Amino acid sequence: MYTDYIKVSGLQRPTRVYLGAPYSNPNPLWMKLRFELINIAAMQLILDGFVVFSPISHSHPIASTSSDKQAVQNYDLWLGQDNHFMEWADVLVVLELPGWRDSKGLKYEMEWFYKHNKPVAYLHLNDVYYSELDRREFNDSRRA
């Protein structure tokens, strides 16, 4: 089903991006790490000229303020929020973090985008890392 491999570098700007990535994990440290990596990727996409909605970046801090942990872990609660942003987005960018192929939420998002004839592009963490390094080196060379 997911045969078209589109790299983010091939997308036009400005493009409205919905940034999908795995998040849930029994180990809260993995969730925290994923949250931080997703935020780094979202920032790089913004710096690269995209308009980005990152559901994890948006929802994680909101969920952390709730004392109702059962409600916060309700998958359908977040789907109801995210579906509106998927409608808004031009493309789903999948951040290929460990576990991305097994993520229930990410599978749903990918299927939704394919069903609605919207493209799905892929972003590897190495690309985020080297994009940041390239930008830093470019800015350092301009200061010299």
Classified as helix, coil or strand, 24 is coil
pLDDT of residue 82: 80
- The backbone torsions φ and ψ at residue 121, rounded to the nearest 5 degrees and listed phi first, read -115, 160
Tell me the per-residue pLDDT of 33-90, one tens digit each, with 9 for 90 and over: 999 999 999 999 998 889 999 999 987 777 777 777 776 676 676 677 787 889 999 9
Task: Indicate the angle between helix axes 75-88 and 55-63, nearest 10 degrees.
Answer: 140
Residue 59: DSSP 8-state: H
The CA distance from 85 to 74, in Å, is 18
pTM passes above 0.75 = yes
| Contact present, 118 and 110 (Cβ < 8 Å) | no
The CA distance from 89 to 39, in Å, is 18
Domain 6-143 has CATH 2.60.40.1930: no
Domain segments of the chain as ranges: 6-143
Tell me the per-residue pLDDT of 8-44, one tens digit each, with 9 for 90 and over: 777 777 689 999 999 988 998 998 999 999 999 999 9
Residue 131 has pLDDT above 50, yes or no: yes
The CA distance from 105 to 103, in Å, is 6
